[in-house]
Chain A
Amino acid sequence: MIERALTGDRRYWGWIAALLGVITVGSLFYLRQLTVGLTITGLSRDVTWGFYIAQFTFMVGVAASAVMVVLPYYLHDFKAFGRIAILGEFLAIGSAAVCGLFILVDLGQPARVFNMFLHPSPRSILFWDSVVLTGYLLLNAVIAHQTLKAEDQGTAVPAWVKPVIYLSIPWAISIHTVTAFIYQGLAARPYWMTAILAPRFLASAFASGPALLILICLLLRRTTRFDPGEKAVQKLATIVTYAMLVNLFFVLMEVFTAVYSGIPEHMAHFQYLFLGLGGHAELVPWMWAGLVLAVVALAILLRPSVRSQARWLAVACGAVVVSVWIEKGLGMVVAGFNPSPLGHVTRYWPTAPEVLIGLGVYGIGALVVTILYKTALSVRGEVA
């Protein structure tokens, strides 16, 4: 089946070439990081995680959000998702691969990464996260492969796939929960040590992931003969709306608890993010922009008459993705380190090589998703 990704029109190959270009640039800078060290990033002694780990966190959410398509389709037999279920699963595969790569590029000694499996440490959440992420990638690969093969050959999906699909539903929840546990179990970092972190991660994931899927569907509808179906898109939009509302609610819960209790070490991180602290306010305009985008998105999404227009829906979904990305892919990780346990605030801003390496990783993810989508659409005879 996959050989169908090897044929395509000029536009398809142009897109592939562009992705390969981005990947090449990222790889060259990664070679530099390998030889010189992580000093080429904006990270420092006090802010030891940044752009890479934040992208990892954001993309775990996108990977997990496939469950928002899989669950209604397979568990509730919501037929309208029949055409997009496989897109969700393939997006999950690409995202899970991106997550693994972001962990890898963040390592100081990537050649030793297999020490995680040579010396497994069940007490470390990072160990469990690598287990659940690998498992999730495999589950989705098996499910998507089997369903697509059946479609290609005009046969029924083998019976044993059904329980695998059911297993993938709680598994999706687990990947983002365990990812939140990486952070929320650390007594050292009051900003992360909150029981609502995992629920918050899931809420923002179920907003941003389906929003991204809607954007992809709208794009495919314009560029190919694929039609996700209006009912499916609108149902996804409803999911985005609820998830975004819940996400905003959770954020306000956090702010209230920190500010009203007035415990300095809990408040300080919010001060750093939204007001600036110790003369450092790099993230302040971004955080406010993220908040404004969230409100704008909800203003559109909450009115069914507006969100049913493709153009407005695209604006709203773009706003959701960017808003959640700012909160998770930029603010969340850095705010945990500022102020430091010794009360210091250290400037962090990703460097150009860091961003280009990150884009290279995203490029690999996009390439994987492109190849898988091309295969799926070719099987259904829906390419341009």
Chain B
Amino acid sequence: MAVNRRRFFQLTGATALGVASSQVLPAASEERSPGPARPADKPLVGQRWAMAIDVGKCREEEDCRDCIAACDKAHNVPHFDNKKDEVKWIWKEPFEEALQNQSSQFQAERLRHAHVLVFCNHCDNPPCTKVCPTQATWKRDDGVVMMDWHRCIGCRYCVAGCPYGSRSFNWRDPRPHIDELNPEFPTRTRGVVEKCNFCEERLARGEQPACVVACKEKALIFGDLEDPESEIRKVLRERPSVRRKVALGTQPQIFYLL
């Protein structure tokens, strides 16, 4: 694995920041996070973030919505009474809709009747970033597909361009419809597009995505595909997996373990 100049600075910069913050600002960081769980402020650094979802494990807890609730809470995702204004980052869809070309009526019950999690695929070749007329959405070097809610003009071309239906538009002011405000994450304004951000704010703090942490069944595995020793690489080596609409060439980075 080649370490280029940019990557070198990323690594050394991150380490230096981690050291600096733990040495120079011990009081401040202690005040902010009294709990022992937070592994300093050292960010998680990866070259190609991806996620694997164990469809079977997820299916066993059909009514479980822990990951969805955790995500909505972490990101101030609003809840509306009507479907028309709906905003969602992660949700469940019937297996045959989410993984159309992989389903057959003779499949095992556990798959055929499963509801699988869907969210932004953080494609390696994202069709949504290409169409954006203002570069308000783009792919980061580590693969996270980002959104700038301050630059987005709300044309919704990215929504039309996403083959997975992963993007939502704020048809009205979302703020009055947030169940419990999380002051650590920005709320959005009406008229902009939003979607799953792979918890880039948590990665920067050295934490795994909220949905992964929230899952009691450990059905979600998050990791770096460029690291051959990572858990996600291990599980993808050992078990058959599928992705959504691979024929389109978008290279989705969410893997469904069958």
Question: Which segment, of A33-41, A133-141, A319-327, A375-383, faces chain B?
Answer: A33-41
- CB pair B157–A124 under 8 Å, yes or no, is yes
**With the chains together, A182 CA to B131 CA distance in Å?**
9
Residues from 8 to 40 in A contacting B, C-beta threshold 8 Å: 36-39
| A341-B162 in contact given A45-B87, A124-B133, A125-B131 (Cβ < 8 Å) | yes
> Given A37-B171, A39-B172, are A188 and B161 also a contact pair (CB < 8 Å)?
yes
Contact call A38/B135, Cβ cutoff below 8 A: no
What is the count of residue pairs linking A and B with beta-carbon distances less than 8 angstroms? 140
- Stretch in contact with the other chain, from B23-31, B33-41, B146-154: B146-154
List A301-342 residues whose CB lies under 8 Å from chain B: 336-337, 340-342
- Known A-B contacts A39-B172, A107-B155, A187-B249; the reply to A121 vs B161 at CB < 8 A is no
- Asked if B86 contacts A341 (CB within 8 A), the reply is no
Are A45 and B157 neighbours in the complex by a CB distance under 8 Å? no
**Secondary structure call for the B interface:** loop
Q: Can you list, as one digit per residue, whether each of A98-133 has a CB less than 8 Å from chain B (1) or not (0)?
A: 000001001111101101101101011111001000
Report whether A45 and B86 are in contact in the complex, using a CB–CB cutoff of 8 Å. Answer: yes
Is B60's CB within 8 Å of the partner chain A? no
- Complex contact A48–B160 (CB within 8 A): yes
CB pair A108 B159 closer than 8 Å:
no
In the complex, whether B119 has a CB less than 8 A from a CB of chain A is no
Minimum CB distance partner of A188 in chain B: B163
Cα–Cα, bound, A337→B160 (Å): 8
Chain A residues within 8 Å of chain B by Cβ, number:
43
> Whole-angstrom distance between the alpha carbons of A142 and B163 in the complex?
42
In the complex the two chains form, is B162's CB within 8 Å of A126's CB? no
Q: Report the Cα distance A110→B170, complex, angstroms.
A: 14
* Cα–Cα, bound, A26→B257 (Å): 52
A188-B244 Cα distance, complex, nearest whole Å: 12
Would A108 and B169 count as touching, CB distance under 8 A?
yes
Q: Do B153 and A116 have beta carbons less than 8 Å apart?
A: yes
In the complex, how many angstroms separate the beta carbon of A135 from the nearest chain B beta carbon?
16
The answer, yes or no, to whether A343 is at the interface (CB within 8 Å) is yes
- Asked whether A45 lies within 8 Å of B161 as measured between CB atoms, the reply is no
Contacts of B88 in A (CB 8 A): 45
The answer to whether the Cβ of A43 comes within 8 Å of any Cβ in the partner chain is yes
Which residues of B line the A interface, CB within 8 A?
Answer: 83-88, 93, 97-98, 100, 118, 127, 130-136, 151-157, 159-165, 168-173, 189-193, 245, 248-250
Q: A38-B171, A188-B163 are in contact. List 9 more A-B contacts (CB 8 A).
A: A39-B171, A45-B83, A108-B169, A115-B151, A124-B130, A126-B133, A126-B155, A341-B163, A342-B165
Kindly list the 8 A-B residue pairs having the minimum CB-CB distance in the complex, ordered from nearest.
A108-B154, A108-B191, A188-B163, A39-B171, A37-B190, A126-B133, A39-B172, A115-B134
